[in-house]
Amino acid sequence: MIADEARKRCDLVRLIFDLPAAKVELLSAQCAVDRLRLHYSLWDIVTFGERRTLERAIASARALNQFFSEIEAGFPAEENEGRRYAGSSRSTRTFHAELKGIYLQGPERLKPPIAKS
Task: Say if 26 falls within a structural domain.
Answer: yes
Task: Say if 8 falls within a structural domain.
Answer: yes
40 HSE (CA, 13 A, CB side): 14
The tally of domains found in the chain comes to 2
For the whole model, what pTM was predicted?
0.60
Collapsing DSSP states into helix, strand and coil, what is residue 83? coil
Q: What domain range is 28 assigned to?
A: 1-39
Q: How far apart are CA 71 and CA 92, in angstroms?
A: 21
Dihedral pair phi/psi, residue 113, rounded to 5°:
-65, 145
The whole-angstrom distance between residue 67's C-alpha and the CA centroid of its chain comes to: 11
Task: Say if 2 falls within a structural domain.
Answer: yes
For residue range 24-80, list pLDDT tens digits in order: 999 999 999 999 999 999 999 999 999 999 999 999 999 999 999 999 999 987 765
Task: Say if 75 falls within a structural domain.
Answer: no
Task: Say if 104 falls within a structural domain.
Answer: yes
Task: Say if 74 falls within a structural domain.
Answer: no
Task: Say if 45 falls within a structural domain.
Answer: no
